[in-house]
Structure 1
Amino acid sequence: MIRSAALLALCLALTPPALAQQAPQQDELLALSFYVAQKDATAISAEVRRLQLKYPGWTPPADLSRLNGGGPSAEIDQIYAHIAAGSHAEARALITRTQAAYPDWTPPDDMLALLNTAEGQKALDKALDDGQLDQALRLASGTSGLLRCDRVNNAWRIATLQEQAGRTAAALTTYRAILSACTEFDTISATLEKADAVADAAALQQMVAQATTRFPARATELTDLETRLLAGRGGAPARAAGPARVITPKPRPAPGAVAATPAPATGAGGGSAAAAARAGDWARCVQLTNGARSASALYERAWCVYNMDRTMEAVSAFQSALAAGLDAGRTRDARYGMALAYLKLKMPDNAANIAAATNFTRTQRVDIERQILDQRGVAAYQRKEYRKSIEYFDAMERVSGGIRRDLAILRAYAFLNSGNRDEARRQFELINDQLSTKESRDGLNATD
């Protein structure tokens, strides 16, 4: 099995992006057809040499008059249509009939490669669905194109089966191969997320280091990802902010989590409340700040009730803390907390008003603007304002450098509902190539 995993890794790393075109298309033969019609032997010879230099594997037909409309056209379109529809046997049968009707025609290499890959993908999907790991490995490594990075879902699914079969080392080898071969950062970060289920802390740190070497400009994001993943197993503490994440005051300022200075707090025990907050004991933090009037204690209380999903109370506590007087850093972070609370309450306009009047850190601003655009995009879609929804989602993608899968699917449907079927299909194809699911396949079917 180590040999199979190594072969899989090698294939993933070395599979080329696509086969080069090996024969001229019909529009490239127009000049040659013209010279044939003019019976210009010198020009014919020169044009044939030019085409053969460009396409070394191409041989012109013995009867050059067949170039002028003498080859298949509608048949080629039908072959590609069969391939796209998954009707692979019909595609091969039509290729055979076309060759019989046009003896000088040879199916281009890119057509055959596409058909072979499509057939291999169908067989691989069945093997993966049936849990046939060894068969999946044979198909993946034996069929060109199945382990390209634009089909990274295949490698991910194989790694999952390897993990389920107890082949931990093989699964890690597959994940490391993806980290070595693929160039899209979203693929790299998603792979680290998936590897977290099988890698121990040391292996995960090594994989993050491997990714950082390849993507030095994304070192901060990778460090944040490593911190969050390790925190999930009781390792380094999380530093995240946002409605779905725990926000804990810490000794160093971080988005949505700013520590006490702990100058001694007055009122209802703010120093102890800060310690409880750092430990994630929100209930004790709230108990210790009951009746608090000092800015410091109110600030701690606001974050604690926020993390307990007592959202309206969090808004009030942040407002009280601001009114009581906070230093500049805490004023900014309290306003950040208020904006997050409004977003939890699905009130993006209120959050936007706060953002417009506050000098947030870059991380805070990106987080707030991303969520505002997210909610406005969804709301526009629900109002059937599909073009406006697309604008919001596009803006969110530019702001945050990516878009969540569920929103990408919604955006694709927005294109479809606004009448842009071609762009909708392109979007669904991108989504499905990254990770094929019922939702992505349903989207593709909807564009047919």
Structure 2
Amino acid sequence: MSKIESGKVRVGVIGLGYVGLPLARAFTDMGIAVLGFDTDPAKIEKLNRGEGYIGHIPDDVISRMRERRFEATNSLYRLDEPDVIIICVPTPLTESREPDLTYVVNSVRSIASRLRPGQLVILESTTYPGTTREVVLPLLEARGLKAGEDFFLAFSPEREDPGNPQFSAPTIPKVVGGLDPTSLKLAAALYAKVVVRVVPVSSPEVAEACKILENTYRAVNIALVNELKMLYDRMGINVWEVIEAAKSKPFGFSAFYPGPGLGGHCIPIDPFYLTWAARKHGMATRFIELAGEVNTSMPSYVVNKIADALNEDGKPINRSKITILGMAYKKDVDDPRESPGFELMERLLQKNAIVEYNDPHIPVLPSMRHYPDLRMASQELTADYLRSRDCLLVSTDHSAYDWQWIAQHAGLIVDTRNALKGVGESKARIVLA
């Protein structure tokens, strides 16, 4: 505690991705030394050269972090060096949509092998309620050290929102649940150094359930507007206009927007962690599972809309030239994780379409866990290129796109984001999907 209060504490962050790196930045901005751990040697080399690899954390920010005692390493033997270790690793789903805690378990085992008395361990990775106590705790105590006496343990869910300039790690309140009162006190004091407000709760389970609730709330409400989009489309009603009208009510309504499917590292995954946990307790979460069915059906709906739109032009999907605009999972970020763009691309390719993409933030598609073969480079949008395509599919509405210019040169645009709502007269035929 004296190290935390004096600012002399050294923090270790395992996982230097879209959650871990912004967190490391928040600590270094407050003068707290950070030792970052990652298994990717290329990331380590870049960071230690003062170079970034995430769009909203550019090179100059990494250089400042280095000047303020940030170091990156892939040597897990150094896990005994930090006073605090924060775990920020992925928690994906298996093929059968069950929790895959491989990254968490491997990280905790590495910590356990180097754990020394006095260290504080905090899990930030989103997971089901009970993970900290039932999975992490036994692994850490396996070598004889006791939680609450020799070391301390807490859970604090990450709340990063990449691409949102209004909120960053320091400006988002931090929920913290400790395994015991001392663990809670230490973790709360640590985060109080770098975030606007700490929200202490009574247990790790409450903190774990809090994050699952936040993302399930979003998933369910997105499913609602996705279903309404399909219904209102049949009724000849513009769902986007309906939502804008409903937003005028100053109470009792929060706007959610439809899209081509869920994306990102949280919303498509987290509700399934809860449904899995519910089955362990003998309960079915029908509401959440129905929302999942609606959201996962959206790429199929969009492909059918493309087929209908091309059919009006007397063209089949087969051999049609289709370009997807935006492969990131959300606007103005370079993060393609769980992006519906990959599902859309695969479905179109299965129908023998000639598919390309453009994304100003993703010059080359990375090899994705479920789509390892969809490797290609972003195409330059020129007037001639746009005229040569049978259809443009708006999957992600990046601010960098000049929609009026695109509409002046394209023939058919299928818009899943209402991105072209402000476009005036144009050559393109625009179809909302």
Same fold (TM over 0.5): no
Bigger radius of gyration, 1 or 2? 1
Q: In proportion to residue count, which structure has more strand?
A: 2
Q: TM-score range by the shorter chain?
A: under 0.3
TM-score for the superposition, normalised by structure 1: 0.26
TM-score for the superposition, normalised by structure 2: 0.26
